[in-house]
Amino acid sequence: MKKGDIYEGIIEKVDFPNKGIVLAEGQKVIVKNGIPGQKVRFMINKKRSGRTEGRLLEVLEKSPLETRDPVCSVFPDCGGCMYQTMSYKSQLNMKEQQVCQILDTALKGQPYQWDGIYASPVEFRYRNKMEFSFGDAYKDGPLTLGLHKKGSTYDVLNASDCGLVHKDINIIVSCVQNYFLQRNISYYKKLQHTGYLRHLLLRRSMTTGEILIHIITTSQEEHDLSPLKEELLSLPLEGKIAGIMHIINDSLSDVVQSDETRILYGQDFFYETLLGLRFKVSTFSFFQPNSLAAEILYSIVRKYIGDTKDKTVFDLYSGTGTISQLAAPVAKEVIGVEIVEEAVQAARENAALNGLSNCHFIAGDVLKVLDQLSQKPDVIILDPPRDGIHPKALPRILSYGADHIVYVSCKATSLARDLPAFFSAGYRMERACCVDQFCQTVHVETVCLLSRAK
């Protein structure tokens, strides 16, 4: 086998997150973006010591697991989804097997209680936030607004019938795209760093139906967006637009951030309710993308924490303080640490909104903040970014010797990488489970309870 060779084969299984395993000429080849059981044609594109990768060229035969039609027009090309044609039960079974394999390998035979995988209460139309990109589907093509094509950094496919978001979101996407398409307004080209339109960020409250619309552009051009505002406000939506923002972003990197935010209409926040608590959600606040599944996730975290009466809880990587506030009513004190200042401000407002006086939030890097705290936690909750806990922060976290640690991970391989450090510090994994917040995609949340051996 050498680079450029083309082969055919059956995807025997898919390892987390989307690594299809194909046997060709007696060798194992990793082919991403496939479904178990598909017959595929692929080209060898990477050869490393002990590892061969191939790029998917074509699906020759569907998998027996593909038992239904996709719900949107750009599947399977769109990078937003992977498993629409699989039954939801098959998706759950596959994700559970993937995570169990990762944990079993990391634990090397150590026993633990596996609590299974929890399904999302809704399989489609569950996302309360989505970032869409402006671009084109092919070089010099007409303006598109949607999600990137699988495996492509530049091609953007229209997403006006996306199955992951509420129909209100799709109506807004179509309106915005048509508005700028009719006026022949340029989009930002990442290589040349020129153009105007960058992203459309939409948030919709699951409980109230309130919608925030953010049009993100560069400052390279000036356009009057008042007509667009009027068009948006006249749309026949099930929910209600709470705010329309124009965000200026001149960053060279392809991220959604604000150099300046102009409120064109309304306000830059709405409220969402989880497990009886009310949370203010603003433009850049971190909030779990699937509100209904988040209630399941947080209920499990609360159960894993157990009795926290008269105990101090550290919630590290606390975001807008959702977990902190769910733990606060049954704890002596909860301290949340989060590096995003806007999220911390929102967390403080939310705690006041919910009447929680024993909940405190600190803005800063976890590694630096821990060195400044005099309190010692009895329980630690960890919900780090996708890449896991910073290697320098991990020893400091373990040095507290907390009785219990609950680790919430959106990337099981990052959790598995961190686990040996916990074991070396005298912890054992008591129980674990998965919560599927990301139906149709390769992602899944993993929750585990780590207890310090007495």
Catalytic center residues: 410
Give 189's DSSP letter.
Answer: B
What's the DSSP call for residue 194? B
d(CA 318, CA 299): 16
Count Cβ neighbours within 10 Å for each residue of 7-41 and write b for 16 or more, e otherwise. bebbbeebebbbbbbbebeeeebbbbbbbbbbbbe
Cα angle 424, 430, 433 (rounded to 5 degrees) comes to: 115
CA–CA distance, 181 with 186 (Å, rounded to integer): 9
CA 52 to mean position of chain CA atoms:
28
The answer to whether the beta carbons of residues 178 and 172 sit under 8 Å apart is no
Which residues lie closer than 8 Å to 404 by C-beta, 6 or more apart?
A: 304, 305, 306, 378, 379, 380, 449, 450, 451, 452
Give ∠ CA 68-74-77 in degrees, rounded to 5: 95
Query: Of how many residues is the chain composed?
Result: 454
